[in-house]
Structure 1
Amino acid sequence: MADAFQSEAVAMLYAINIASQMGCDRVMFETDSTQLRRAVSTEEYDLSALGAIFREIKFQLHVGFSDVCVVNCSRTCNRVAHRLAAFGATLNSGACITWLGQFPEFVQNLVAGDLPSNDM
């Protein structure tokens, strides 16, 4: 469990760095981990084994953006993010893929599945 929590924190730090490099100024980060949201929004976890990561996340959020929001969403509402994370886990270490414009079919299918149905 601690390894998963650490992975989530490292992934959030990576996302923060990418958003900053892309020049984003106003950002919203979503996580399905209430514990992670709390860890980066309070001082509650600063003395934990992962405290240095949480302090770095909070510092980067503070200096990198003019408007920041970290929110929770349910895991079922986060299927696209989980599938993208699973895809990223299959890449070689250090590999990075950026899609601008057309997204891969597996992402389009997941997003289409999230759209409300017009059938009544």
Structure 2
Amino acid sequence: MSGSGGWGFVVRNSNGEAVGVAVGRLDHAQDALHTEADACSRALHLVQECGISRIQIESDSQLLVQTLNNEGNEMGQCGVLIKEIKESIFLNFFCFNISFCPRTCNRVADGLTTFGAMLRDVPQVVWPGHPRDFVHCYLASNLAALVE
């Protein structure tokens, strides 16, 4: 990995509607797991600030999902970040589930990650509430993948 990367996520309500979007650049990425874990951590902070207590985390990183679902296993390069994510989940959320979502069904996050990696003037952008117009293209792409 080049040492830089992007992250992005969508926060959805119980009806599946996007209620928040965030993207950003990570200048000192260790590997793909690090960018995935960083995005997860940032998403947890945002939903916690919104007062959400029941969460469903979906990631296209099988390694992240396996690591978060298993006890221990925080000794890798981003072990401290993984441990912080686990503690945040257990301390701040009443109900949670962590599952794998193949990249073909996760085009929104994939597109947002690419957008985040291209940010130059600011390290991150958060859009609470109704997502911006360009995000609708990603959302539509996700729905099309689910129908295929």
Say whether the 8 Å CA contact 2:107–2:141 is kept in structure 1.
Answer: no
Q: Displacement of 1:110 after TM fit?
A: 2.7
Stretches of structure 2 that go unaligned for 5 or more consecutive residues are 2-29
Question: What is the distance in 1 between the residues matched to 2:87 and 2:46?
Answer: 15
Q: Displacement of 1:104 after TM fit?
A: 2.5
**CA-to-aligned-CA distance 1:17-71 (integer Å, 9 cap, x gap):** 1111111100111001111001111135222232211111100000110001111
Match of 2:139 among 90, 94, 111: 111
Change (3 A) 1:49 1:43: farther
Greater Cα radius of gyration, structure 1 or 2: 1
| Percent identity of paired positions between Structure 1 and Structure 2 | 31
Match of 2:97 among 69, 83, 92: 69
> Which structure shows the bigger proportion of residues in strand conformation?
2
Partner of 2:129: 100
Partner of 1:84: 112
Question: What is the distance in 2 between the residues matched to 1:79 and 1:63?
Answer: 30
Change (3 A) 1:55 1:106: same
Secondary structure in 2 matching 1:27: strand
Q: CA RMSD in A?
A: 1.9
Q: TM-score, normalised by structure 1?
A: 0.82
Task: State the aligned residue count.
Answer: 115
Q: TM-score, normalised by structure 2?
A: 0.68
What aligned pairs does 1:3-14 form with structure 2 within 5 A after superposition?
3-14=31-42
Stretches of structure 1 that go unaligned for 5 or more consecutive residues are none
